[in-house]
């Protein structure tokens, strides 16, 4: 039986450990944190599936690869729910983009950007009036008279997904080694808590923790607030376009919302700053006054792992597979990246 070490139990590591153990590999999963994922960018993320909003400031591939997520996640979530009995909520009913009257030009600019990058999909972008906005998100109608509707967008509940993946991985007999800091990753070998170990193949999915192996990798700091807002009922992701701060609200079950996100070229993992709280929360209050009575359940920061071109990498060689660089698009691109990595694993990581 072939022995595989997966290093890093973020979204990539969990998905690959789940898939590889289902294929019959004997998998050991190492992570420096616990199975709760408190050391992952994956746990902090808003986990929106937003190919249109992302491509406005990214390469076209992000859109093409990202569309795959809208088909792939429902299949995987159904399989995970059947296996573990854990529900993972998600929504694929599109997203709404609004702007205050004074900032209307930002909406127009966003539409122009989309027309330039995805001209073949621009017909899918719907300009909505007050009546349509009332139909989609009635609580936004008092403050906004129009906006955009992006039908091919959605979100998933990352906390529930990471927990379901942890259960499924353990059910399949993966040996999960939490609190295990791994260094010196090389083909067939690694060092864990100072001790050398060998495997038939090592899969490196350490996110920003892989800087020693990937010097060109950088972390891009992001901060989010997780709120419970009993007075707010939004059913889909909402973006507020603003000349200075861009705000999004991603729904979770039971009137919970993830509010984000800052994007700062810094590798600091320090807690969320007062400035970011002020910017995020004042923009949020301008979106919906019901957020005034919300309680802040978490204020989280982490770094998105990014390559110089902000696109992911999948590099296979005999005895080692390196997968990284998901940047802002961990949930949007992991379907494409995981399928590509599984192919590279079979093709490049074994002697022919
Ligand atoms: C604020 C914020 C908001 C985001 N919002 C979205 C969004 O809405 N949609 C979207 O698609 N993406 C979003 N992302 C991006 C997404 O979170 C990341 O792209 C994704 O989590 C990267 O996955 P990963 O598995 O590569 O890394 P991670 O999820 O960070 O996992 C890496 C794992 O490796 C472990 N590790 C690191 N070093 C070591 C070591 N030496 N030894 C052992 N283990 C180690 C860590 O403990 C961690 O568990 C967001 C990110 C942030 C920060």
**246 CA to centre of ligand 1 in angstroms:** 21
Instruction: Compute the distance between CA of residue 49 and CA of residue 86 in angstroms, rounded to an integer.
Output: 21
Residue 52's Cβ-count burial label (10 Å; 0-12, 13-18, 19+) is buried
Mean pLDDT is lowest, of 190-194, 221-225, 320-324, for 190-194
**45 CA to centre of ligand 1 in angstroms:** 8
**Is the dihedral angle over the CA atoms 232, 165, 42, 91 positive or is it negative?**
negative
Torsion of CA 36, 38, 43, 46, to 10 degrees: 140
**Mean of per-residue pLDDT scores for the chain:** 96
37: left (phi over 0), alpha (psi -120 to 50) or beta: left
State both tokens at 280: 């995020």
- For 230-256, the pLDDT digits (tens) are 999 999 999 999 877 789 999 999 999
pLDDT at position 78 is: 98
Beta bridge pairs of residue 220: 304
Q: Which residue has the tokens 């008092």?
A: 142
The Cα-based distances of 153 to 50, 66, 131, 291 in angstroms read 5, 10, 21, 23
Q: Contact 152/94 with Cβ under 8 angstroms?
A: yes
Q: Supply the pTM of this predicted model.
A: 0.97
Count other C-beta atoms under 10 Å from residue 135's C-beta: 11
Residue with the smallest CA separation from ligand 1 atom 20 is: 330
DSSP for residue 43: H
Residue with the smallest CA separation from ligand 1 atom 38 is: 209
- For 40-84, the pLDDT digits (tens) are 999 999 999 999 999 988 999 999 999 999 999 999 999 999 999
Q: Which domains does the chain have, with CATH numbers?
A: 3-86+157-215+309-348 (3.50.50.60), 95-151+218-306 (3.30.9.10)
Q: What residues contact 233, with CB distance under 8 A and at least 6 apart?
A: 139, 255
pLDDT at position 257 is: 98
Q: Contact 299/279 with Cβ under 8 angstroms?
A: no
Residue with the smallest CA separation from ligand 1 atom 51 is: 45
Q: Contact 137/147 with Cβ under 8 angstroms?
A: no
Q: Contact 66/332 with Cβ under 8 angstroms?
A: yes
Q: Contact 267/127 with Cβ under 8 angstroms?
A: no
By most ligand atoms within 8 Å of CB, the mutation choice from 65, 304, 333, 340 for ligand 1 is: 304
């Amino acid at each position: 039986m072939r022995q595989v070490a997966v290093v890093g139990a973020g979204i990539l590591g969990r998905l690959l450990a789940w898939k590889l153990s289902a294929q019959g590999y004997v998998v050991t999963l190492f992570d420096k944190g616990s199975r709760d994922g408190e050391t992952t960018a994956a746990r902090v993320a808003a986990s929106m599936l937003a190919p249109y909003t992302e491509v406005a400031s990214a390469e076209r591939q992000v859109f093409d690869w990202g569309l795959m997520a809208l088909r792939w996640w429902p299949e995987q979530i159904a399989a995970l729910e059947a296996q573990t009995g854990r529900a993972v909520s998600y929504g694929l009913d599109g997203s709404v983009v609004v702007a205050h009257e004074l900032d209307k030009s930002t909406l127009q600019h966003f539409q122009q950007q989309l027309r330039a990058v995805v001209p073949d999909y621009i017909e899918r972008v719907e300009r909505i009036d007050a009546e349509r906005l009332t139909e989609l998100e009635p609580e936004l109608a008092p403050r906004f008279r129009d906006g955009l509707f992006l039908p091919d967008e959605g979100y998933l509940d990352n906390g529930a997904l990471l927990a379901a993946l942890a259960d499924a991985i353990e059910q399949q007999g993966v040996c999960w080694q939490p609190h295990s800091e791994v260094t010196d990753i090389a083909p067939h070998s690694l060092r864990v808590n100072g001790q050398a170990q060998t495997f038939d193949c090592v899969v490196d999915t350490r996110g920003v923790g892989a800087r020693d192996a990937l010097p060109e990798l950088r972390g891009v700091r992001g901060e989010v607030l997780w709120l419970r807002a009993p007075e707010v009922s939004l059913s889909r992701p909402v973006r507020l376009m603003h000349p200075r701060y861009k705000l999004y609200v991603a729904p979770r079950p039971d009137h919970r919302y993830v509010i984000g996100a800052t994007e700062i070229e810094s590798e600091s993992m320090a807690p969320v700053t007062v400035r970011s709280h002020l910017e995020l929360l004042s923009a949020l209050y301008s979106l919906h006054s019901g957020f005034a009575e919300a309680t802040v359940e978490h204020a989280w920061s982490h770094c998105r792992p990014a390559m110089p071109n902000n696109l992911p990498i999948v590099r296979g060689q005999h005895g080692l597979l390196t997968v990284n660089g998901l940047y802002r698009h961990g949930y949007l691109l992991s379907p494409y990246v995981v399928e590509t990595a599984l192919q590279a694993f079979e093709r490049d990581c074994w002697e022919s």
